[in-house]
Structure 1
Amino acid sequence: MKAEVIWKSKAMLGEGPFWDEKQQVLHWVDIDGCKLNTYSPNEKENTQLSFGQKVTAVVKRKKGGYILAMTDGLYLFDADRLEKVASPEKIVPYHRFNDGKCDPAGRLWAGTMVMEGSEKDAALYRLHTDYSCEKVIEGVQISNGLAWDTKNSRMYYIDTPTQQVVSYQYDQESGEIDGKKVVYTFPKSEGSPDGMTIDQDGMLWVAMYNGWQIIQLNPYTEEIIQRVEVGAKCVTSCAFGGEDYQTLYITTASSNDENDPQGGNLFAVRTKSKGYKPDEFAG
């Protein structure tokens, strides 16, 4: 399978695709460009909102508006109003927030990353619907992909430098996780695992940074099912969307590689698999 360019965005660091079922558009961010993007497949147009700091993830809020992960915290964004709702740690100069996603109960999980050096002092946080926030996983370097399999009470997680996808037993009512297990370890030759989504068969779709591809992975047999060829080196994340949730939208980052002219563009591919409607923040 091969993904095609659907928008020549040339984003510095495209990330965080989120399908808006009501509006039938894809929200996504350009982290280093400090932009929130909205792409309409029907109109084949992309609009942008610029902010004064990095926007690292976006999710819809059931009551209206959005929750944004930004450099120094988590923000409510609604009708041009930006309000910080959580700053779970004092973000040191070499830390910032990164990927974030809601679980099936409407909690937001968002992690931080180390910008400089190899310290493992970032973390994954859980924002409850009452806006209380707590640290869930410590010893993280680059917090990235998240996915939930409610049929089998599992949560999947990626800390990119580990080259691993790990799973936890997940309790939807409390949000608690335990029983960490390594699902798959990628060789460096495949790239580094970044963002991730899950289909209705429980298979994972993992974006491979520096790998030119998305890998569909069976987390039960620990086998690669197939690869989606992407015409950009730094593949950052993916999400299912479209009316039937069989279009996989793919974000990428620009690179300094002369062989990577499509880096930073938005890609898509039609699949035989079907994804889920993304969970929204319930606070």
Structure 2
Amino acid sequence: MTVAVRQPKVECVVESRDRLGETPLWCDRTNRLWWIDIEQPRLQSYDPATGDHRVTELPGTFAGTQALAKSGDRLLAKDLTLYLWDDATGRGSTLASVEAGLDNRLNDGRVDARGRFWVGTMDNQLHRPNGSLYRIDPDGAVARMAGDVIVANGIAFSPDGRTLYFTDTRRYTSYAYDLDLDDGIVTNRRIFADYTATGDRPDGACVDVDGCLWAAFFAGGRVVRYRPDGAIDRVIPMPVTNPTCLCFGGRDLKTLYVTSAWKFLDAAQLASEPMAGGLFAIEGVGQGIPEHRFG
């Protein structure tokens, strides 16, 4: 049952005009919100205290995802390769390449409680089950954990680290797995949220301190909060058609940041959505948990 609550203010804090904004992360070392534009490949950051917005153009065709690292570097996906990226120099060293010979790219990932990076691949044509879910260990070893994926998305972990959430956006389904933190193996896949009847597209996700999963709905104009049992208890409408991913940030982790995209919008939609592709902030809807760091 959805609880009727007063809707919070949704504010566009950076009009970044991202073609495909994604993977926002709050960094407690820089006190900045970091995110990427996948298809105009660039790494961006925002300081909510000053409003400062910084942009670094990236090489390659796609910047698929990012993660924080214990070393102070950043884990950055470009096409099908993961790099340890130095923000200060704008240079990266290769950590791992996950696939070859497929028309795929890396898309969405998150670090677990033991410092391992979980990341998925997706079909560039958005309909073939070419993708997979991978675990990348701190030494760069790559383990393929699941296949038959069209568009990997929505990777998040429960507060105790023992549940992995994973979405296949073009199968319109989100799943939950049991995760053994000691051996890094996932088992007991079950459906967490099923939108196959409606074709709704769950995209990026994060978890709050109450263990609830938040998901953005691409082409759905909303973000949704699920209780751990999969029941929806909050829906927040967005002023754009394509919210893509979300995270909690700010020094107290009480601001929900949401990235968005103008990709696939026609001329009329673009005219009516001047903030499409922007970064949004929502206050007073919950509190997040700190991101784990790779390594």
TM, length-normalised to structure 2: 0.91
Matching residue within 73, 92, 95 for 1:85: 95
Taking the aligned partners of 2:16 and 2:197, their CA distance within structure 1 comes to 28
For structure 1, the residue ranges without an aligned partner over 5 or more in a row are: none
Which residue does 2:134 correspond to in 1?
Answer: 125
Taking structure 1 as reference, are residues 190 and 265 closer, same or farther at Cα in structure 2, changes over 3 Å only?
A: farther
Asked if the contact 1:192–1:211 (Cα under 8 Å) also holds between the matched residues in 2, the reply is: yes
Q: Cα distance, 1:117 vs. partner?
A: 5.3
Taking the aligned partners of 1:39 and 1:152, their CA distance within structure 2 comes to 28
**Count of aligned pairs between the two proteins:** 280
Matched, 1:250 2:258: yes
Taking the aligned partners of 2:180 and 2:65, their CA distance within structure 1 comes to 24
Taking structure 1 as reference, are residues 123 and 87 closer, same or farther at Cα in structure 2, changes over 3 Å only?
A: same
| SS, match of residue 196 in structure 1 | strand
Asked if the contact 1:110–1:125 (Cα under 8 Å) also holds between the matched residues in 2, the reply is: yes
Q: Cα distance, 1:80 vs. partner?
A: 2.4
Taking the aligned partners of 1:104 and 1:25, their CA distance within structure 2 comes to 22
Asked if the contact 2:127–2:170 (Cα under 8 Å) also holds between the matched residues in 1, the reply is: no
Asked if the contact 1:190–1:208 (Cα under 8 Å) also holds between the matched residues in 2, the reply is: no
1:196-215 to structure 2, matched below 5 A, reads 196-215=205-224
Matched, 1:42 2:52: no
CA distances 1:80-131 after superposition (whole Å, capped 9, x unpaired): 2211110121053x21111111111110111111011521021111110111
Q: Name the aligned partner's letter for residue 244 of structure 1.
A: D
Q: Cα distance, 1:52 vs. partner?
A: 1.6
Asked if the contact 1:190–1:211 (Cα under 8 Å) also holds between the matched residues in 2, the reply is: no
Matched, 1:172 2:171: no
RMSD between aligned residues = 1.6
Matching residue within 155, 169, 192 for 1:160: 169
CA distances 1:186-231 after superposition (whole Å, capped 9, x unpaired): 36758310000001111010000001110011131x3211112211
Which residue does 2:4 correspond to in 1?
Answer: none
CA distances 1:246-275 after superposition (whole Å, capped 9, x unpaired): 100000001322433221010010134211
Which residue does 1:232 correspond to in 2?
Answer: 240
Matched, 1:216 2:229: no
Taking the aligned partners of 1:117 and 1:152, their CA distance within structure 2 comes to 30
Which residue does 2:3 correspond to in 1?
Answer: none
Q: Cα distance, 1:147 vs. partner?
A: 1.0
CA distances 1:147-166 after superposition (whole Å, capped 9, x unpaired): 11143721111010121221
Q: Name the aligned partner's letter for residue 80 of structure 1.
A: G
Taking structure 1 as reference, are residues 117 and 207 closer, same or farther at Cα in structure 2, changes over 3 Å only?
A: closer
Which residue does 1:59 correspond to in 2?
Answer: 67
Q: Which stretches of structure 1, 4 residues or longer, exceed 4 Å deviation after superposition?
A: 187-190
| SS, match of residue 113 in structure 1 | strand
Taking structure 1 as reference, are residues 151 and 65 closer, same or farther at Cα in structure 2, changes over 3 Å only?
A: closer
TM, length-normalised to structure 1: 0.94
Matching residue within 231, 243, 249 for 1:241: 249
| SS, match of residue 161 in structure 1 | helix
| SS, match of residue 136 in structure 1 | strand
Taking the aligned partners of 2:158 and 2:74, their CA distance within structure 1 comes to 24
Asked if the contact 2:218–2:242 (Cα under 8 Å) also holds between the matched residues in 1, the reply is: yes
For structure 2, the residue ranges without an aligned partner over 5 or more in a row are: 1-6
Q: Cα distance, 1:72 vs. partner?
A: 2.2
Between the aligned residues of both structures, percent identity stands at 29
